[in-house]
Amino acid sequence: MNALTQELVDLLSLEKLEENIFRGQSRNLVGKRVFGGQVLGQALRAASYTTDRPAHSLHAYFLFGGDVNAPIIYEVDRIRDGRSFISRQVRAIQHGKTIFMCMVSFAEQEEGLNYQTAEPDYPAPENLKNEAELKQQMVEFVPENVRASFMRDRHVELRPVMPINPFAPQPEAPNYAHYIRTHDKIAAEVDEISLHQAIAAFYSDFTLMTTALRPHGLSYLSPSLQCASIDHAMYFHKPFRADEFMLYDMDATISASSRGLNFGRMWQNGQLVCSTTQEGLIRLREIESQ
């Protein structure tokens, strides 16, 4: 596998310490704090290790920022093992403190009523530039002190449908979309449903919270802006592959009380395969200090 894809697989593959207790390593992906998608993906994987069914929903709260220089311990509580649904609670612990909690529900795919909303009509990914190409076009806007971190490649490939320059944002509609996949195919020896779901959870946190910033002409790089994920929900509707392009379409419905509410839908081969919801903190420090 491509080196970045291998690193992502390694990041989402946890060490079993004892029954229901796992350890995940941390990476500096977005700065001083652990990237929320890393904790989402690792917590989902930890819960998945305790059942042979695929996840169908995840509901999480981010409680404290994680330390990128320390591993994270995941404790899984086997809440329920039913015939139709299996429930797990996961606590992520670092330095003796619970930094994240989630509930995950698992269920087998079954036949039933079928309906989905229409997929948005966007250009195909092969007609769009990838994020690395777009970054090269805006390199003159990037301050020298953040250039290295901003220009480095992500662990997944993004192709924005409606690219923006985060260093010069303008007020826009609260909508955003990109195609996303791993840089390389998942190797056969680790090709499991739980890994694909964990990768989708990992990249479900990319740009979702910032959708609520767009009407205000702000980006995650805007001075005096404090951004942080508060909670995150994810629903897995149908099988998918994280190493093939998925369209991630996002919109925000409100920003109020220094919080923004954002929704996302992931599409693959015309099928709505995942849905996400996230509320994020979007606080202007200059307002807070008055």
Question: Which tens digit of pLDDT belongs to each residue from 111-121?
Answer: 999 999 999 99
Among residues 50, 119, 164, which one has the least CA distance to residue 272? 119
Cite the beta strand spans of 14-119 per DSSP E: 15-18, 21-24, 55-62, 72-81, 86-94, 97-106
For the chain, which ranges sit under pLDDT 50?
Answer: 287-290
The single residue listed with the structure tokens 């992906």 is 29
Query: What pLDDT is recorded for position 288?
Result: 45
Query: What pLDDT is recorded for position 148?
Result: 72
Query: What pLDDT is recorded for position 287?
Result: 47
Its sign, for the CA torsion 49, 50, 56, 57, is: negative
Query: What pLDDT is recorded for position 286?
Result: 65
Query: What pLDDT is recorded for position 223?
Result: 83
Query: What pLDDT is recorded for position 145?
Result: 73
Q: How far apart are CA 225 and CA 217, in angstroms?
A: 12
Each residue's pLDDT tens digit, 190-245: 999 999 999 999 999 989 999 999 999 998 888 888 899 999 999 999 999 999 99
Query: What pLDDT is recorded for position 29?
Result: 86
Q: What Cα–Cα distance (Å) separates residue 160 from each residue in 140, 179, 289?
A: 20, 6, 35
Query: What pLDDT is recorded for position 290?
Result: 39
Supply the residues annotated as catalytic. 205, 229, 278
| Domain residue extents for the chain | 3-108+123-282
Q: Which CATH number fits domain 3-108+123-282: 2.40.160.210, 3.10.310.70, 3.40.50.1820, 3.10.180.10?
A: 2.40.160.210
Query: What pLDDT is recorded for position 97?
Result: 97
Q: How far apart are CA 14 and CA 23, in angstroms?
A: 6
Please name every residue paired with 94 in a beta bridge, in sequence order, or none if there are none. 97
Query: What pLDDT is recorded for position 35?
Result: 93
Amino acid at 262: N
